[in-house]
Structure formats: C-alpha cells, structure tokens
Amino acid sequence: MGLFDKFLDRFNKAEFTIAPNKKLKSLSKEFKEAYDLSLVFYKGNIIAEGDLTLGALNQKTSADIATTSKEGIKIKGNMLVKEVEKSFLDTYGVTVQIKDKKAEKLVDNNITLGEAARNQ
C-alpha cells in the first residue's frame, strides 16, 4: 500500500459512527456506502435479522455488556478489520464480520478497511 493510500484512508470518509439505536440493515447499508464492504451482524452463529436495532441485538446475546444509547463506535478507513470487529464485541457484545462488497468472502483481518475497499 502506498503512502498516498494511507493518507487517503486517514481522511477519506474520515469517520463512520455506529449508534445502538439504528437498525442493523440501516447500519449495514451505511457501512457499504461508506466503505464498499459488507458489515454482517450475527446472533450466535446465525446472521441476525436486519430489523433489530444494535441495542436489541445486544439484549439477545449472552454477553453481559452494559451499553447506553449514548455510546457509539467511531470507525475510520485506516482501522484494521480486526479492530473494527473487536470494537463491536467490546462495546455491544455482538459479533460482526466484514465481508467483500457482495458479502461472499470474509475480508482479511490484518488489512485496513481502506485496503479492503481497494481490494488489496
């Protein structure tokens, strides 16, 4: 990855904020618009229903995470995929996976969102 790409990742789509009161399908759609990647939410080992909010999904998981509606996650293009996925688990107690645009293949956990968006 070139120095110019790293610079763009830091400032392009500078910040994507996740709020727990939004529906999963809305969050996934906004994430795809921002990064051209798929954000998939899981309830246990199955894909969660899109009509749930992130807060409601948190209540259906077994993880004991105290989250208020004021908490959010800020995602940037220069974050590693594994950092984004861990943020969801740590903040909301939910599992997410970042996949390619068509949601067919998992994105490598050790690259940034920017690199994944550029298919690197």
Domain ranges of the chain: 3-117
pLDDT digits (tens, 9 = 90+) for 65-90: 555 445 678 898 889 999 999 999 88
Q: Which pLDDT band holds residue 109 (cuts at 50, 70, 90)?
A: very high
User: Residue 66: which of 16, 20, 18 has the closest Cα?
Assistant: 20
Instruction: Please say whether the dihedral angle defined by the alpha carbons of residues 5, 26, 94 and 48, taken in this order, is positive or negative.
Output: negative
Question: Does residue 63 surpass a pLDDT of 60?
Answer: no
